[in-house]
Structure 1
Amino acid sequence: MSRDDVWHRGGMEETPSCCAAPSPAAQLPDLTYATTTRGPAERPRTTGTPSTKGQVLVPAGEFWMGDTHDEAYPGDGEGPARVVQVDAFRIDVTAVTNQAFAAFVKATGHVTTAEREGYSAVFHLAYDGDGSDVVGRPEATPWWLAVTGASWRHPEGRASDVTKRQNHPVVHVSYDDALAYCAWAGKRLPTEAEWEKAARGGLDRARFAWGDELRPRGRWPVNIFTGTFPTVNTAENGYATTAPVKAFAPNGYGLFQMSGNAWEWCADWFAVDTATAFGPDNPTGPDAGETRVMRGGSYLCHDSYCHRYRVAARSSSYPDSTSGNLGFRCANDA
């Protein structure tokens, strides 16, 4: 299925880079080690000259991966929670920024998926056009607009730009765009297991990247939707769309905004049974699939609809999907 199929099928259960409607909390089996039942994908490899610029080392070790708070959506495959072993690796301190992506485009001439296709998904409250450039609006998720001219350069459509958002995460980038950047930068995408270990920042089975409380001491530590989703965003945390990549405090590993702000592509194909189908040693997910894993949630996550800014939460999107709340960060072998 392609991005066009998703936009034009009508109904559209698979939304572009956003969460599915919430379901009752999953009833997860007892915590256990995963066991292998089918072949995993190969471990992602760095292409080009390896670079560790802007990265921190995440130490090797075991951690609890998956939901341990009975908050998972059954269709997401967060559970059962299990102990996973990950080798040491390096990961970017922040998501890739508009400034960094612009340097890549200038050096390579890369044209993104959204630019080639001529449109991308924009959240309706961020859009300020007259409607003439809106070419799609799915019935199931009408807050998403397919806007012609929307791209990483023009996040809300042709009239917008990133001149004053150089230190914001680049968005409207597909999985293929992320791979192309990684190849140029001498890096790779993190596996899903690497991503979650990094996001946890050394905390054991915490709900969020900073602990168990959403607003410690009454302060917002994350850029998510505040107000009434999807009609009123009060921007209590200071931002209505993306925020600068270092706008909030880092986690225990020194990584910024592993929750909220913008979803991040991971290397793995998505499968609901990932937790039980693959072993606990450096899991890489299935060797094929339709959608790729994305992690972290975004500025559109809200408890009334989607609390996938939890550190165990996962979702997925088609590799050619692009939207105003989907970006990436890079990793590398240690």
Structure 2
Amino acid sequence: MERRRVRGNLGGRGAALALLAAVVGATLGAASPAVAQGAARGTPKKAEPTHPAPLSVEPEEQKTAYLLSGIARRQQGKLREAVDDLTIYVSGDDRNPDGHWELAYAWALYNEARPTAQSRAKAVEHFRRAYELSPTLPRTVPATASPAVVALVNEGRKAAGVTGEPASRPPIDAEGLLRLAETQADAGDLWEAKRNYDEVKALPPPPAPAERERVRGKLDKTFRERVARVQSLEVQDLAQAQSEASNLLRFFPDEPVALETYVKLQTRYSRLAMEGIAGKKIYQSYRNSIEGFMLKGQLRDALAEVNRLLFNFPRDEFGEKSYDQILRRNEEALRVAAETFQAGRLEEARKKFEEIRANYPDLGPAQDAISEIDEVRRSLEAALGREQERGNYPAVYTTAKELSAKFPSHPKGKEGVDLALAEVAGKVRAGGEAQAAGRLHEAIGLYQKALAIVPSQSGAEEGIRRSREAILEARKKLWSGMEPVPGGTFELGGGPEESRPKNKGARVNAFVLDRYLVSNDAYRSFVLSTGSRSPESWKGGSPDPERLEYPVTGVSFDEAEAYCSWLGKRLPTELEWEKAARGPEALDFPYENAPSRVRKQYNPFQEYPVNRWPELASPYRIELMHGAVWQWTSSWFAPYPGNDDAAVRAIPLQTFRVVRGGSKSSAWAKPGSPIPVVFRERRRPDRRDPDLGFRCAADEGTPPAFLETDTEPERLRPAPSAEPAGGTAAAPRP
């Protein structure tokens, strides 16, 4: 017996073979391998299926069964199954032009439903083979064939070297096709007559029902005559009767009497063939095929051979064990594939499911899992593309890493990771350049952006650490240089209208005050460390290199307060400022006690470096408390208690902040006639005037602990919620 590779599917054969098993009653007790889709994420699980229908033993009958099944499935629209069955039929007889033509026609219809390069090539290949074997095959194709199918037929004819008129559909309507079927029935050509009769319903206009019934009657009559002939041949020539029954079933696969006749003769013929030495050879051939397929892992082919063996040798121990082994291997393959899927190794899982599907094309869970894996891949590809367009590199990196983890060989995963790493390298490099230039806040921001893309970057982490150390060092340096001012009572006011009345009972607590006004250089360190806004007086966002030691100006109240808070300080209250400027003797000018020669050199209406006049410091060693620039205090402007000046009392409360000290731009600034330091001025808090500077105060003379422990010194600190109390007698009205 010819032994060849048999392809089958897990769920059963064609309609004719399924009915064949039912009529013969050859159902076996073993359960076929099958799995059902898992509920969560396509995880396969075991189900309770039925045994697939068996195959007959003789090659000719096997071929006929596959041919009939393929034609029936094509007519039912099951094109993938039709292609499988007809492929098996052709593999058993490669020189059968009719088989090649039927397979090519099935491939052409399949390509029409699901166009692919492979299905189109298969159709043309088998049309070519059919016309090479029989150039005289009819040029006409079924009247219901589409122009695309006709084109594939002609492409195959051309490849085969067939000349003459191209193939075409018959120029015929429904009535003409029905008459053609009648003529063919009269001539005994049942196959063509039945095919054309079935295709009549697809063509307009429909013929009269009576005409269809009349032609159907002729087909039935010829069919019954053929059945009678087969039954009469059973006694005379069993082999001939079996062959006639095969042809009869081919013509009328849906007729029960045709199927029953074929089954009866086929079963008898097969059992006779199994007796004696021939049966032993066949059995050994099955065993050899099964063992070979199992060794190669070709479970689909092994299953087909097991089905054939069990049909012809029911309850055979080797067949049953092989069947159970296939079941276990299939379940194990599904389990491993599902575990790989759940572990997130989707590329590996897809390969495993592809191997399962190759053995069992009809196994739904494998196809469902492959579809879900493909959907995950497409989703990740789309997400990666969107994030790349947006320039969202943290999302690019995480998405690309996920794509690479799930699909290691996917090129877009590696490309996305490389793109993100290149962005990280660029930001780390730019951060290093900013750090070297002293732009520490900018450097930290760049390093943090690099870490946001790829966490645990040693270069970025080290850059942040060094930048923060530099900020902490700068803050400690800026905190120094404060002078103590004792608490107690002092004389307040006594000048122009806003400064009246004089009050000798004003009181403040002890505090410390910056010896110098905040310089451009000090404020530059603050701006570069925190990313704060540059003063209005700086051109191009940077101070004049020639004026680094001059007082910073052009900063608002909030900006001055933010600087002081960043250092753990605050702005002085108005009372603190006046106490520090006048000293215990209530001087009108801070430098009254300085040598005359030094006082004559000083012009309070001119700007100087913050440390230019140490000889003119106040009694508490505070320099430039008079002239140069106005200085912010934390106090709201309000009339002193007891002030009855109508104009002063009309000034709205909680609107202006008090500024003290005077500047060259003051309205009263007249060379040779400066006014005392008791003079009060007011400005709106948002003003950034070129004559506005400041200095900081603190309650204690020791630096706060956070200057050493702050883990994010580049961040601004919240300002004090309220100004310190300044004394009951001179406190501003609420």
Measure the CA separation in 1 of the matches of 2:696 and 2:565: 10
Q: 1:223 touches 1:299 (CA, 8 Å); kept in 2? A: no
Give the aligned length. 215
The answer to whether the Cα contact below 8 Å between 1:52 and 1:332 also exists between their aligned partners in 2 is no
Q: Distance in 2 between matches of 1:111 and 1:165?
A: 19
For 1:243, give the aligned amino acid: Y
Secondary structure of the corresponding residue to residue 545 of structure 2: coil
Greater length-normalized contact order (CA 8 Å, ≥ 6 residues apart): 1
1:167 positional shift:
0.8
Aligned to 1:165: 547
Of 73, 76, 79, 2:496 maps to 73
Pairing 1:310–2:641 present? no
CA distance in 2, matches of 1:265, 1:243: 18
- Partner in structure 2 of residue 153 of structure 1: 538
- Could you tell me how far apart the structure 1 residues matched to 2:601 and 2:573 are? 25
1:226-284 alpha-carbon deviations (Å, 9 max, x no partner): xxxxxxxxxxxxx4xx210122222221111000111100000001x22438xxxxxxx
Q: Which amino acid aligns with 1:259?
A: H
State the secondary structure of the residue aligned to 2:525.
Answer: helix
Percentage identity across paired residues of the two chains: 36
Match of 2:508 among 70, 73, 86: 86
C-alpha displacement of 1:96: 0.5
Q: What is aligned with 1:119?
A: none
Output aligned runs, 1:260-275, within 5 Å.
260-271=627-638, 273-275=639-641
Q: Which has the larger helix fraction?
A: 2
Structure 2 counterparts to residues 116-195 of structure 1, below 5 A: 151-154=536-539, 161-195=543-577
Secondary structure, aligned partner of 1:164:
helix
Residues 1:333 and 2:699 aligned together: yes
The amino acid that maps onto 2:493 is G
Distance 2:568 2:692 in 1: 21
Q: Report the CA distance between 1:299 and its aligned residue.
A: 2.6
Contact 2:630/2:663 (CA < 8 Å) preserved in 1? yes
In 2, the alpha carbon distance for the partners of 1:329 and 1:319 equals 16
- In structure 1, distance between residues paired with 2:533 and 2:490: 39
Gaps of 5+ in 1: 1-47, 115-150, 226-238, 278-286
Contact 1:97 1:170 in 2 (8 A): yes
**Separation in 2, partners of 1:197, 1:169:** 21
Partner of 1:56: 483
**CA root-mean-square deviation:** 3.2
The corresponding residue for 2:166 is none
Asked if the contact 2:491/2:502 (under 8 Å) is kept, the reply is no
TM-score normalized with structure 2 length: 0.27
Larger Rg: 2
Residue in 2 that maps onto 1:34: none
| Corresponding residue to 2:581 among 184, 193, 199 | 199
Give the 3 Å change call, closer, same or farther, for CA 78–163 of structure 1 in structure 2.
farther
Give, in whole Å, the separation in 1 of the partners of 2:557 and 2:541.
25
Name the amino acid aligned to 2:596: P
- Inter-CA distance 293–92: structure 2 relative to 1 (3 Å threshold): same
> Which residue in the other structure is 1:98 paired with?
520
Give per-residue Cα distances to partners, 1:61-91, cap 9 Å, x unaligned: 2110112xxxx332x2342333211111000
SS at match of 1:196: helix
**Aligned equivalents of 2:611 and 2:679: distance in 1?**
22
SS at match of 2:522: helix
2:637 corresponds to which letter in structure 1?
A: F
Alpha-carbon distance between aligned partners in 2 of 1:174 and 1:306, rounded to the nearest angstrom:
30
Q: Distance in 1 between matches of 2:502 and 2:545?
A: 44
Q: Identify unmatched segments of 5+ residues in structure 2.
A: 1-474, 644-651, 701-734
- How high is the TM-score relative to the length of structure 1? 0.57
1:205: Cα distance to partner?
Answer: 2.7
Query: Aligned partners of 1:253, 1:181: CA distance in 2, in Å?
Result: 23
Question: 1:89-142: per-residue Cα shift (whole Å, max 9, x none)?
Answer: 000001111011000000110015x6xxxxxxxxxxxxxxxxxxxxxxxxxxxx
Residue 252 of structure 1 pairs with residue 252 of structure 2: no
Q: Which amino acid aligns with 1:107?
A: S
Question: How far did residue 222 of structure 1 move?
Answer: 4.1
Q: Runs of 4+ in structure 1 displaced over 6 angstroms? A: 305-308
Could you say which residue in structure 2 is the equivalent of 1:321? 687
Per-residue CA deviations over 1:37-62 (Å, capped at 9, x if unaligned) read xxxxxxxxxxx99x952101111121
Task: State the Cα distance separating 1:306 from its structure 2 match.
Answer: 11
CA contact 1:78–1:312 (8 Å) conserved in 2: no
| Partner residue, 2:172 | none
User: Which AA in structure 2 matches 1:83?
Assistant: G
Give the C-alpha shift of residue 223 in structure 1.
3.7
SS at match of 1:276: coil
1:217 shift after superposition: 4.0
1:209 to 590, 599, 616: 590
Describe the shift of the 1:267–1:224 C-alpha distance in structure 2 as closer, same or farther (beyond 3 A). Answer: same
